[in-house]
C-alpha cells in the first residue's frame, strides 16, 4: 500500500518542541507524571519528554479499543499490569490520536480513579468528523481530516509505525 505524506517530519519535530515548552511551563513546580498509551504514543513520548526540562516521571498504560486490522472501535481493554502509581500526582495522559474520544475519555476516568491529583490530556493528532464522546484535549499537535493515518507511531495491523512522518494510507 502507498502512503501519502500528510504531516512532514520537520513539522512534527517543530510542533513537539512547542508542546514541550507549553507543558514545561504549565507544570513547573508540580509533580508531573506523563502516562503514555501504548503502543501508538511511544514515538511522540520519546521525542516529547526530551523537550520537557522539568523533573517528571514517565509511565506506560496499555489500552486498546482496536484489534488487528480493524478501523472501528470495539470494547476498551486496559492491561492493569502496566498501571502506574499516580496517587497525588499531576498526570498528563498522552495518546497518539483522538478519534472517537471513547478511549481517551475512559482512560481519563481510569487514571482519576487511581488517585491522580489532576489529569490532563495530550494527543499528537485530532481527527475531525469521528468524535462521538465529548472530550477536549488540553494539548494537541495537529488537527487532521477523517482519513486512516499511519506513521510516527500509528499503525495499520502493526505496520508503518516506523515512518518519521504521518501519512494517509492509500489502497
Q: Transcribe 62-76 into DSSP letters.
A: EEES--TT--S----
Q: Taking the CA atoms of the chain, what radius of gyration do you get in angstroms?
A: 15
Distance (Å) of CA 54 to CA 22, 46, 92, 109, 170: 12, 15, 14, 26, 40
Instruction: With both helix axes pointing from N to C terminus, report the angle between 9-26 and 42-49 in degrees, rounded to the nearest 10.
Output: 60
| Known active-site residue 85 | no
Alpha helices in the chain (DSSP H): 9-26, 42-49, 102-112
Catalytic residue, chosen from 47, 95, 96, 99, is: 99
Catalytic residues: 99
Amino acid at each position: 500500500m502507498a502512503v501519502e505524506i500528510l504531516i512532514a517530519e520537520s513539522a512534527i519535530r517543530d510542533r513537539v518542541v512547542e508542546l514541550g515548552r507549553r507543558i514545561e511551563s504549565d507544570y513547573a513546580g508540580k509533580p508531573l507524571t506523563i502516562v503514555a498509551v501504548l503502543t501508538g504514543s511511544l514515538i511522540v513520548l520519546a521525542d516529547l519528554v526530551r523537550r520537557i526540562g522539568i523533573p517528571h516521571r514517565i509511565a506506560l498504560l496499555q489500552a486498546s479499543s482496536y484489534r488487528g486490522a480493524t478501523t472501528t472501535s470495539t470494547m476498551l481493554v486496559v492491561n492493569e499490569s502496566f498501571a502506574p502509581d499516580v496517587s497525588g500526582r499531576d498526570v498528563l495522559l498522552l495518546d497518539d490520536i483522538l478519534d472517537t474520544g471513547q478511549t481517551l475519555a475512559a482512560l481519563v476516568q481510569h487514571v482519576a480513579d487511581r488517585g491522580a491529583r489532576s489529569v490532563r490530556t495530550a494527543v499528537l493528532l485530532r481527527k475531525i468528523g469521528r468524535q462521538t464522546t465529548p472530550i477536549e484535549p488540553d494539548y494537541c499537535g495537529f488537527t487532521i481530516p477523517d482519513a486512516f493515518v499511519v506513521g510516527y507511531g500509528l499503525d495499520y495491523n502493526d505496520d508503518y509505525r516506523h515512518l518519521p512522518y504521518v501519512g494517509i494510507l492509500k489502497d
